[in-house]
Structure formats: C-alpha cells, structure tokens
Structure 1
Amino acid sequence: MPPSHGRSYKRAHVACKACNSRKVRCTITLSGPPCANCAVDNIPCEMKTRKRRRNTDILPAISDPGTQENPMSLEQTPPATRLCTSQSESPHWDTSGLAKDCEPSRWGQMTDAVRLSPDHSQQAHNASSATSSRDTIVVGHNTDESDIGVAFDAEADVPRQNDHQDEVETPPIANATSAWAETLEEHESDGNRVPFYPGDRRGPAFVIDICKPQRSTDSNHSFVAMPSLESLQPEEIEYLRWKGCFSLPPHPLQEALIKAYFHHAHSFEPVLDPQDFFCAYSKGQLSLLLLWSVFMCAATFVEDSLFFVNLFESPLTFKRHAFQRAKTLYDADYEKNKVTLIQSVFLMGHFYADAEDRLGPWHWNGIAISLSHTIGIHMLTSPARNGIRPLWRRIWWCIYYREVWLSMGQGRPMRISLDHCSTPMPGLYDTSPSCSPEYQHYAPEELGILFGIWLKLIEVTRIMGRILSLNYTIKGARPSRAIIERDENEIRANWIHDGNNDQSPVLASHVYQYRLHTQAAIIALYRPFLHEAPDGVPDDEQDGWKEFANSKLRTAAAHATHAINCMMAEDLIKFSQTIAVLTISPPIQIHLLEMASSKSLSNKLAKHNLALCLLALDEMRKSYVSADAAYKLFDRARIMVEKSLGEDAVVSRDLVAAANSSREAQGIETSEWLDDSMPVGHEFASVGLFSALWMPFANLIPDESLESSF
C-alpha cells in the first residue's frame, strides 16, 4: 500500500493470509489466531510466514514441534525462534538440570519462555488495529501441557482498511483521557471494560449527580473501555529476561511454594481467590508479577532442604531473588490489570529491605492503598453492583490490616481513615468458593475455620485502628474511661478459646498468632496511661488509675509471652507471619519496663519473659530481616537497662550511706527520691530510657550486616 501524505509505514513481520492479501493490519502477533479481522469476518485465519527474517533481536522460544494447533510452532516460526534455552542461560538463576524429572506442567516446564497474564492476552485481543507500532510478545495457543510457544515480533504501523468497517463495530479502545467522560454512562463489567473510580462528589464525580440525578445507585464505580495496550519494547523484554524474570524455579519447588502459601499465608491475608488462582496457574495464564510475589511470601514456610537441593543457600536468598524479579516486572509496568497489580504490591510488602524502608512494607502498602483508591475498593456498597466481587472487600480489609499494624509497630500515622471509607466489614458471605477437587491438596483442611479466625482478626484490627486514632493523637482530647472500657470489652468479645490438643500445626499457629494480636491491642490501649490518666478521672484517683493501667499491661504481656512459649514448645515459630515481629514487640517493651522494677520478684520474672521473647525473635531472624533488626534493638535495650540498674544500685547505696551519715550528724530525715511520674515500684533512673523503645522501628539505625542478608 503506498503511503499517504508522504508518511512511510513499516510492514508487519508476521500477518495472516487474509490480512496480507487485503493489505490491512493484522493482530495475530498480539492475540494469536484468529486475528481481530478474521474473527470479525468469521473466516479461517491462517498464518503466512515471511520469507526473510528482518528482526535480529528475537527472544528464544520453547515450542512443541508436534503441536499443530500452535501457529508459532517450530515448523512455522523463523529460524531464529527455534532456539531453546534452559535455566542455566539465565545470568542470575543457575538451576539447570534440576527439573528434568518433573511431571509435565505448563509452568513447571517453562523456563525462559515469556508468559502473558490473562489481562495482557485479553487486552491484546481487544486492541486490534488501534495498537501502536511497538514490539510485542506473543504466546502461542499450544495444547500440549509441557510447552508454550513464544515468538517475538514487531507490528507495522499500517492504517487499517477494512472492507466491513461500516457493518461491524470493533471493541472499544479508550483514549487515556476518556475514562472520566465515560463514567457518565452506566456500563456493566465485561471482557472489554476495566474498573475505574472517579472519586466522590468533592471532585469531578459531582458532575455525575448533575447529569444523572435519578440514578438507581449512589455508587460512583464505573467500568470504562479498556485502554490501549502499550507493549514492551524489545530491549525491555530482553532486560526482563536477563534479570531472570522468565526463569521460574523447578516444578517441585514451585509446588511446595504454592502449597505453603495457601496453608500459611493466604488464610491470614486472603487477597487471592484460590479457584481463580489455581485455574490460571494450571493453564499457564497466571501473571508473572503475581506469581513471583506469591513465591516470595511462601519461601518462609518451605523446608530449607528443598532450597538446598535446588542450589539456593537459604530461603532468604530465594526470597531476595523473588522480590528482585517481582520488582523488575513492576518497574517495567508489566502488569496492566489493576486488581492483580494491587494483589502483587500488597504481597511485595512482605519484604523488608532496610531500615530506611525505601522498598519495605510501608512503601508497598502505600502503593496498594493508592491503587485501591483508583478503582474505589474503599468505597464499595452492599449489595455490590454487577462486576464487583467479594474478593475486592477482602483485599481492602487486608490492606487496612497491614496499615494498622505497621502504623503501630513503626510509630507512624495511618494513611487510611475509615471515616472516608464505606466498604462494609467482611463476613461469611465473603469467603472464597471451595476449590475444585484437583486443587484441594493445595489448601488446608481447616480453611473454613481459618477464615473465621481472619474475620475476628479484622474486627480486632478495626478496634486497634480506632485506638491508634484516639489514644495516640497529638492534638486530640484524651479518651474517657468509658471509651477505654468499651474498646477492651470489644477486643475480649473476639477472644478465641483454647482448642483441642490434636489440632493441626497450621490451625494452632494461627490461633497463637491471633492471641498475640489481641494482647498487643490491649497493650496499645493502656500504654498511653502509664503517665497520665484518661479524661474525666479525678485527681485523687489518678495514681490508682496509673497502677491499674500498669497491671493491665503486665497481664497482657504475660498472656502474650505464654502464647509465644506455646509456639516454641510446639515448634510453630517457623510459621510466624511478618506481622508477628510487630505484635511481639509490645510485650517485650513491657518486660523491659518491668525490669526496672524495685521489686525483686517482678524484676526476675520480667528478665525471664524477656529472654523467652528474644529467643523467639532470634528464631524468626532465620526468616525475616525485620526480626533481625528488632532482635538487635531489644537486645541492646536489655543491656542498657541492666547497665542502668547496676549504676542505680551503686548510686542508691551511696545515697543511703550519705543520708545515714547526715542523719546521724544532723538528725534530719532523708528525702524521697523516687519519681512519682513512674508506676509504683519502678526506679526513677529509668525515666526516659523507654521513650525510644515504644516504637521499635521508628528511628532504627541501619546495621551494616543487614546489607548482606534479607
């Protein structure tokens, strides 16, 4: 076709016979057969191979030469795409020969092959002629379960000349700026539309109220036309391959990681739909970004021996590799599906990079919050409109859960205010549908019971968020005694009683960690009142209230330590979640405070309980860098407290001797030197020592040893 207006166009490297004969743009390199034109015209779509290879920068592909359904099989692809690569070719992941005996699996056998998530494939199919002339990835539709064909090609920027333009309407392709205008029209969810939230009536969404005053719902959630698919450049694909993003671990390790995730991580933070995940996983259509994020979270719960067999030094080494690959895919804007992207960055928040938290949990949870606002999962209504799934509610409350406990553990203000959210609390109706029989071995038998524990955990988290908002504000008024009693009663109303002795390790670990959360919430509730009484307490009762608060703190810390002791006795510390590092910190702080007590028995008991907690933290250091940082902080604090107590004892003896000498010489009484601001039984010299210990990670000093470990 001669160029128009003096503009020259590049010819596509690959096109089907029908599009080639009609000289129109073919999307077979995006969606595979049939292309968009053949699908619209309802005619057979046959591949036309080019005679001369023009693109020298082609990714190797793995394809089955015997599969006739794959249009990009070895008989049809250019010679350069016949190259096969093993995992040993990856410069960062040398696991060649480890998965040769694995049973066939799309994901297990696929190493350097590039996969597209369902969102990529769907967008590519819908893009048709509106996609710009950029190099794209193609996944062949191979029916063999052991291989997936991959081709790398370029699409020409040729204007489409369709003979049936006036008869057939193509799927809507949105301009990047048209989403706001489309919210004025009600569209339900379908394969061609994506969720979009224009905000509330403070912003442009007020126009919706003007244009549609009689609309049936107050929800501003919309589904707008899918934006154009921006394909990755060849050098970007090559960079992802060089970084090892397409080189998955051997199949046995993958299976162990998936099973570990759904046994130990999913039931604490159910941000995935198990059935959807397993279906996509078995078909090889799962997002790579999400898969690497799942692998990273699950590495903590897999036996070390399995990593050693696969040439990894430790689970921490694998975890760092998985995080680097997930982050590389995220930086490349690989994932287009907003929900999948939110799930992925939420899971990436389980990686603790360094004390500055530039790439740590606080950073990634903030991204998850921001992305959630763009599709409005914080403003869901009940009942939900068509296209909005219960999974969205679970995702939002998981994000809120991490935000609350990260805020408590790191001493930072929360970035979520429930006053500006309408998403209802999750209930039993939000549970995931049961898995198909072929996938049930991935999930624990007690999945229903574990989901019930999660519902209680979210309720305790909601109360905890309210405590942080009321009790720890800088300018707000102190809560009253009635509010404190209400919060404690609501926490205890969600208490889980002791189960039977034959419960599984998975269930037992969840129960113990849940108790850590409840006791940490009670400690957070009463901790501000060690030095001041609640609002409305008379002056003559304030000392009694401080002693009452101190008693509540000691009891909660003792109960938390008991749960930790049970976990160690039953060898369950290895199943601790990342948040467990934060929930174990409040009881440690109380034990440190009790070490300063002048009562000998209380001092000895505090030292014993502190030793148990530090022992648990020391065990967690094998899995989490955050545990290593917390252990160093509290161990150094213990040394400082003991040193301070030793110095205080010497000073006290000198003061007593001097006072006795003065009394004998002058007949005057010694004066009290205890500080009334501290709880009864605590030395004055410890005042101010714990002010920097309430928030263990607020001003953490980076340690050089952390740079070499995760």
Structure 2
Amino acid sequence: MNSPQAAPATLSPGASRAGQRGEKKRRGGEACIICNKRKIRCTLSQGIKPCENCVAFGYQCVPRERKRKHYTIVDAQAVEDLGSSRPPPAPAVPVFSPRDSIQEESNRVQTPRETAEFFADILNSQFSGARAPISTSSAAAICPTVSNLNVTTGIIAPSEVVSTPTRGYLGHSVYLGHELNDHEESAAQDNTDIPHRSLTEDDWKVLHLRRAFDLPPRAVCESLVATFIAKCHPWMPVVEDEILSRLQYGNMNDTPVLLLQAIFMAGSRMQRSASALDHASVQDYYNRAKVLFFANYEHDPMTLIKAVTILQYWNPSGPEHVSIHNSSYWMRIGVGLAFQIGLHRAPVKLPHDNHIRRRIFWSLFARGSLLSAGQGRPRAIHIEDCTINWPSAEDFPANDKISYLFPAYVRISGILGDLTRWYLRGCNDASTRIPEFEAALRNWIRELPGCLRMKGSDGRNLPYDPEARQLYLVYFTAISILYRPHLPSRSTRHSQATIGSTIASSCVARLLEDSLARGDVRDGVAMHAIYALIAGIGALSNYNYPLLWAASQAELKIITLFLAELAKTWQTAKGTLRILHRLQESVSMFKNVPDPPPLVIGDFDTSLLEPFSTDLSRKWPIIIAESAVNPKYRDITAMTRGRAEKVGSCGLNGGTDSELWLGDDTAPIGQVDLSPPSIMSNMFEGISRDSLYSYGNWFLEDSLL
C-alpha cells in the first residue's frame, strides 16, 4: 500500500488546496510591477521577458515581488534599482503599428475603451506641455493593443499579420561561393547586435507636436483616397487593393499610419477641390509622414518602401535645387530599401505577397528611369542586376485596365531610361544600338493592348483616354530623343531637323493641346514638363525650314501655355519655361540661312508611326503632301514600310529631284511671343548655365547655351 504522505509529491500543484494556494500566489508573481499596478494583462505569464507593455513604453520591467519573503523572485539588483531615488525612464513612444498583434478578447483584463483611456492618460501625463492633449480615439489609433479599436462600439477588429521578413538580402554567395549561404543564414539569426528600436521621449514629443497621428475626417479621407486611386495608383500600384477598398469607405483600421499619411499627401497633391484641404494642407500630410519615417516609427520594410515611393509626389522644387524633399531623394531611399530586402531578385520560394513585391519594385524602376531622362542623371536601377520577373496582368487581382496599363508603362519608361543612359555614356556602337532601340519601340507599340490604343481595328480614333495618352507622351518623347535634332550653334550656325523628331515632337504638342482643352493639365506630374521641353526643342529645330516653322510657332505657343498651367502645381515647370525661353533667345541669334541643311529622312523607322493617324501631328500631313510630288520619297508618303531606305539629302530651297520644297519664309522667331506676361513676368531673371544641368540638357548641344 502506498504511503499517503507520498501522494502529494506526485500531484500537480493544483490538485490540492496547498497547490492551489501556491498557484494563486505564483500567478501574482507572473506580472511585472507596472502591469500589476495598472491592472492590465502582463505577458510575463507567457514567458515573454521583458513584457510587451514595458518594452512599448520604455519602462524597466521588474517582476512583481511577493509579500512573503520566501516567495521572492526579484534579484537584489532589480530591487535596489527599483527602490533608488532615480525615477524610472520616461516612456518612449511605443512601437505602434496598426498591424501589431493584439491579445485575444478572452485574455484582456480591461475593456478596449478602458485600455485606450489608460494609454491616453499615460501619454498626456508625460507630455502635458504639448500643443494639444491626446484623445481616447487618438490613443486607440496608435496604441499597439487597441490599434483596431472602434471607439464608438468598443470592438476590436482582427489584426493584419505582418509577414514581411526583416532579414536583409545578401548576395555574397553569387561571387564568393554558395558555401556562404549557411553562414549568412546563421548570421541573420543572431539578433544580439540589433540596437533597441524604442523611441525616446524627445522623439515622441516631436511626433505629437507634428500631429503625426492626426487623421482627416471620414469624408475628407474618402475624397483623398478616391483622388489617389484615380490619379496616382495607376502609375504607382504599391498599395494592396484590399487596403484601398477599405479606405474608400473611411475604414482606416489595420492600415499603418505612415502609409495613411503618405496616401493622404499624394491625394491632396493631386486634389482639385480646395475644400478637401481645409483639414490639413499637402505639406501638413508630408511633414507627418516624414517625421514618422525618420523617427523610426514604422519597422515593416514593405510599408516603409510603399510610403517613400508615394512620397515622391511631394516634389516641392525643381531639380535645379539641391533638396532632401524632391522625388529623386525619396526614390533612391526606396530603391535602397528594396535592395536590402531583395526585391530585385526572383525569390526561390514565391512569398504570399509576391505580386505586390513586383508592383513595388517596378514602380521604383519606372520612376527612376523617368527621373534619369528628366534630369540627365544616372539611373538608380540597372535591369542587368535584377532577376525579378517583369510585371504582368497577373500581378493585379482584378483584370481591369490598370493590369494592362502598368506593365506597358514600365516597359516604355525602361526604354526611355535606356536611351538616356546610352546618350550619357557617349552613344557608343550607334550602328548597333539605334536598331535595337527601334526594335524595342516597335515591339512595344505593336504589343500594346487594344484598350490602350488610340486607333481601333477599323481605323477610327478611339475616345479620349487620359491614361493611355500619358503612355504616348513617353513613347513620342523616346522617338524624339532617338532621332535627336540639332539646334543652331556657334559652329554650325544653322539647325538640322530630323523627320523622326519633327513628327514625334509635333504629336506631343497635339497631346498637350488636348490636355489643355479638357482641363487635365493639373492631373499631370512634374515629368510632363520634360516631355514639353523636348517637344519644344523639336519645334525649334524647324527654324530654318519655312513651312515647318509656321506649324512650329503654333506648337510652341501650346507648349508654353501648357507649362504655364503646369507650373501652378509643379515648380519644375517654371524652370522648364525658363529654359525654353533661353533656347528661343539662343536660336533667334542665328539668321535664316539661304541654304539650310538637309532634312534627315533616311534613318527614320516609319513603322513607329503605323498605329497613328496623320491628324495627330500638324507637320505630318505637310511632310507627306510635299513628299508626294517626289517619287523618291514615297516611303515617307506611304508610312507603311518598316525602315526607310537611305534616300540621301532632302533640301528645302529649290526644285531639283533631290530637294523637298516646304513653302515660303514665315515670321522670324523673334516675333513669336512665348511668354504670357501675366504668368511669366520676372520668371526668366537670374537664369544661369549651371542651372540647366539639372534639367537633362544632355539632350542639347553644349555649344548652344
């Protein structure tokens, strides 16, 4: 028979009264002093040391000391520190993220409203000198345990789980051997050298003073989000459709506050309604997002990249100014973060967010390519270094227009970026590279989906589509650069136009004219100023060609009006207007020459214009009509053959078989008014040659300016 005294030794602590008492007393020791005092759930009971609440608020987490000495579980040093006269550290800003995990409803000691009030009391007591107290709703929006709290109903919505890996991408094994893979894995698992990421008291004061957590009313939120979806999202689809769907109805739960402020900034930047900006200005939203970013408030890499990509819409000044607020600055921060987490590499195992990863990376690539062309600076992403797949319609859950628009936009932006890089590197191997660029442009226009074309299969022009026409602005700009004209210079004393640049720049002018007529200019971005400038250069190159110059005068007027209207939204357009005026003055110094140079025809790939009607350009019908009288130029008349044969020079001053007469002389350039006084007064003062280097003057001849 077993001894009854031995039985308790084999039972669990809860099997006897003494065991129950011991468990009850032990439960008291499984909470820290702070959580026990506030009567909130402590994660020490789950084996998490220090507890999440103390980590969030920067307190020293000390387990609660039992009243009976023999149950003491606090070491002497901790007790000494606790009883010292030194006050506890001031609470730092919590690592608040609306996607941080929350505790289960059954584990909460307090109601959500009580918890929100508790955090609001703590924050207000610590920062009573701030401009405005933190309300319960504000605390609910930023508190880690009540980030999804509906302060009206007291209900917590399910949290969105953060699954983005924080490990940085390392590519050493590519060139040092695959043996490094295991060592890199082990190094990534060692977190002992990661600095503590809690914010300081000063950080939190700055966040509060900057009103970083202020959110607009529901009506304003819906308006700004609608503008963002319509004007920004097609070109930067970096936000998941599920998040945008929630925001459309004013539901800001589960969305990181940094991402919210970035979306509101971009939406307000493109917003036409002034009433939507009564709650906060564009700069207010930008400052809130910026302070959240630099305070290290958000730790999810994907959220950080999304936010900085969207922040490129701020761009308060032109590229002639060195700034940490312009598009190129934020774009390169986004590219650097994207490289850190390996967005440029095709993953071995497809993550669940693979589609959004591709959308984010290619948004950065397209933007970087356009900025390189617009500023004449090195491109941030070189496609040779990337193995990630190109974007496709499969990256978008809804088979809508954006699923076709964005891949086409990325491709044509990449072609323009390639052209820019080729020019910046000295135009080497022109006999090989030019046909390659022509083939790339030809394939792009032929593979364009029907919903993005300007002309239907029956030959009729399709209805006006502003998004599709933005693609064609890039396309015709690339053609203008590929067949770059030469403006008059001190050495040549005359301009030399090309068929490709003449027609392409004329098409851009017509697209800008349509945008002016429909009031869509302010829907454009700063890059539109560069498209207009390059079109203006193409028009100025026709100065020595009489009949073409007549059409150029009208196009220059349109370009000037477009830039003046665009300058109301984007400062870049003001600098572009200065450059266009400077070019006008430079060209006007050279008189019309009696024997102008030939109009370059032979190297133009006429198939690049096949999908378009001749009425898209003022000069295209003129060239066709005049060339029709000379059988030698039937390739230009038909516009159907792939690459026109070399047909020699085409003079403009006489009646021989090798000459093309384009009309009588027209008004000299000095009589063309390119600057409306009401808009352009004092705009051209103080322009210097150095400032032109910020506007991609790689497209111009150095001797001109």
Classify the TM-score, shorter chain: 0.5 to 0.7
Alignment of 1:591 with 2:531, yes or no, is no
Give the CA deviation at 1:392.
Answer: 0.7
Structure 1 residue corresponding to 2:512, chosen from 555, 564, 589? 564
Q: Which moved more, 1:346-355 or 1:258-267?
A: 346-355
The answer to whether the 8 Å contact 2:167/2:341 transfers is yes
- Which position in structure 2 is the counterpart of 1:326? 289
1:69 counterpart letter in structure 2 = P
Structure 2 residue corresponding to 1:476, chosen from 428, 440, 454? 428
Deviation string 1:621-648 (CA, Å, 9 cap, x unpaired) is: 2221222322333234334544x25xx3
Deviation string 1:11-64 (CA, Å, 9 cap, x unpaired) is: 6775647779999743235679xxx999xxxxxxxxxxxxxx988889999xxx
1:487 counterpart letter in structure 2 = A
State the secondary structure of the residue aligned to 2:261. helix
Alignment of 1:194 with 2:166, yes or no, is yes
Give the CA deviation at 1:575.
Answer: 1.7
Question: Equivalent residues in 2 for 1:382-421 (5 A)?
Answer: 384-421=349-386
Give the CA deviation at 1:85.
Answer: 12
Alignment of 1:553 with 2:519, yes or no, is no
1:370 counterpart letter in structure 2 = G
The answer to whether the 8 Å contact 1:116/1:287 transfers is no
Give the CA deviation at 1:420.
Answer: 1.2
- Which position in structure 2 is the counterpart of 1:604? 550
Give the CA deviation at 1:111.
Answer: 7.5
Question: Equivalent residues in 2 for 1:45-60 (5 A)?
Answer: none
2: CA distance, partners of 1:419 / 1:449: 29
Give the CA deviation at 1:352.
Answer: 1.9
Give the CA deviation at 1:605.
Answer: 1.7
Alignment of 1:72 with 2:139, yes or no, is no
- Which position in structure 2 is the counterpart of 1:424? 389
Instruction: Calculate the aligned-residue CA RMSD, in Å.
Output: 5.0
1: CA distance, partners of 2:405 / 2:136: 37
Structure 2 residue corresponding to 1:272, chosen from 239, 248, 257? 239
Structure 2 residue corresponding to 1:522, chosen from 476, 479, 482? 479
Alignment of 1:282 with 2:251, yes or no, is yes
- Which position in structure 2 is the counterpart of 1:292? 261
- Which position in structure 2 is the counterpart of 1:253? 220
- Which position in structure 2 is the counterpart of 1:371? 337
Structure 1: state its 5+ residue gaps: 1-8, 39-52, 62-66, 97-108, 122-137, 150-188, 213-218, 313-317, 435-446, 532-542, 653-671, 701-710
- Which position in structure 2 is the counterpart of 1:614? 560
The answer to whether the 8 Å contact 1:193/1:223 transfers is no
Structure 2 residue corresponding to 1:630, chosen from 576, 581, 593? 576
1: CA distance, partners of 2:141 / 2:151: 15
2: CA distance, partners of 1:89 / 1:261: 30
Q: Which moved more, 1:192-201 or 1:571-580?
A: 192-201
1: CA distance, partners of 2:244 / 2:285: 18
Question: Equivalent residues in 2 for 1:105-116 (5 A)?
Answer: 113=139, 115-116=141-142
State the secondary structure of the residue aligned to 2:483. helix
- Which position in structure 2 is the counterpart of 1:580? 528
2: CA distance, partners of 1:640 / 1:338: 49
Deviation string 1:586-635 (CA, Å, 9 cap, x unpaired) is: 212212333xx233332232121011112112111222122232233323
Q: Which moved more, 1:628-637 or 1:197-206?
A: 197-206
Structure 2 residue corresponding to 1:510, chosen from 454, 467, 481? 467
- Which position in structure 1 is the counterpart of 2:103? none
Indicate how the Cα distance of structure 1 residues 606 and 552 shifts in structure 2: closer, same or farther if over 3 A, else same.
Answer: same
1: CA distance, partners of 2:520 / 2:391: 28
Alignment of 1:498 with 2:450, yes or no, is no
Indicate how the Cα distance of structure 1 residues 357 and 569 shifts in structure 2: closer, same or farther if over 3 A, else same.
Answer: same
Give the CA deviation at 1:559.
Answer: 1.0
2: CA distance, partners of 1:604 / 1:111: 64
Q: Which moved more, 1:603-612 or 1:574-583?
A: 574-583
Indicate how the Cα distance of structure 1 residues 486 and 30 shifts in structure 2: closer, same or farther if over 3 A, else same.
Answer: same
The answer to whether the 8 Å contact 2:377/2:696 transfers is yes
2:166 counterpart letter in structure 1 = V
Indicate how the Cα distance of structure 1 residues 17 and 291 shifts in structure 2: closer, same or farther if over 3 A, else same.
Answer: closer
Give the CA deviation at 1:395.
Answer: 0.9
2: CA distance, partners of 1:351 / 1:289: 15
The answer to whether the 8 Å contact 1:406/1:582 transfers is no
The answer to whether the 8 Å contact 1:195/1:224 transfers is no
Indicate how the Cα distance of structure 1 residues 82 and 231 shifts in structure 2: closer, same or farther if over 3 A, else same.
Answer: closer
1:350 counterpart letter in structure 2 = Y
2: CA distance, partners of 1:675 / 1:473: 27
Deviation string 1:177-197 (CA, Å, 9 cap, x unpaired) is: xxxxxxxxxxxx985953531
Q: Which has the higher contact order (CA 8 A, sep 6+)?
A: 1
2: CA distance, partners of 1:673 / 1:10: 94
Indicate how the Cα distance of structure 1 residues 528 and 231 shifts in structure 2: closer, same or farther if over 3 A, else same.
Answer: farther
Question: Equivalent residues in 2 for 1:94-113 (5 A)?
Answer: 113=139
Indicate how the Cα distance of structure 1 residues 569 and 459 shifts in structure 2: closer, same or farther if over 3 A, else same.
Answer: same
The answer to whether the 8 Å contact 1:553/1:590 transfers is yes
1:451 counterpart letter in structure 2 = S
- Which position in structure 1 is the counterpart of 2:310? 347
2: CA distance, partners of 1:463 / 1:614: 27
1:232 counterpart letter in structure 2 = L
- Which position in structure 2 is the counterpart of 1:338? 301
Deviation string 1:629-674 (CA, Å, 9 cap, x unpaired) is: 22333234334544x25xx37xx8xxxxxxxxxxxxxxxxxxx887
Give the CA deviation at 1:413.
Answer: 1.8
The answer to whether the 8 Å contact 1:265/1:297 transfers is yes
Query: Among the aligned pairs, what percent are the same residue?
Result: 17
Alignment of 1:142 with 2:149, yes or no, is yes
2: CA distance, partners of 1:237 / 1:373: 30
The answer to whether the 8 Å contact 2:90/2:126 transfers is no
The answer to whether the 8 Å contact 1:378/1:423 transfers is yes
2:221 counterpart letter in structure 1 = Q
Structure 2 residue corresponding to 1:487, chosen from 440, 446, 456? 440
- Which position in structure 2 is the counterpart of 1:540? none
Give the CA deviation at 1:423.
Answer: 0.8
2:581 counterpart letter in structure 1 = D
The answer to whether the 8 Å contact 1:200/1:220 transfers is no
Indicate how the Cα distance of structure 1 residues 589 and 59 shifts in structure 2: closer, same or farther if over 3 A, else same.
Answer: same
Give the CA deviation at 1:518.
Answer: 0.9
- Provide the aligned length of Structure 1 versus Structure 2: 524
The answer to whether the 8 Å contact 2:375/2:696 transfers is yes
Indicate how the Cα distance of structure 1 residues 576 and 146 shifts in structure 2: closer, same or farther if over 3 A, else same.
Answer: farther
Q: Which moved more, 1:451-460 or 1:332-341?
A: 451-460
State the secondary structure of the residue aligned to 2:695. coil
- Which position in structure 2 is the counterpart of 1:441? none
1: CA distance, partners of 2:344 / 2:34: 47
Give the CA deviation at 1:199.
Answer: 1.9
- Which position in structure 2 is the counterpart of 1:697? 695
Indicate how the Cα distance of structure 1 residues 384 and 572 shifts in structure 2: closer, same or farther if over 3 A, else same.
Answer: farther
Alignment of 1:458 with 2:424, yes or no, is no
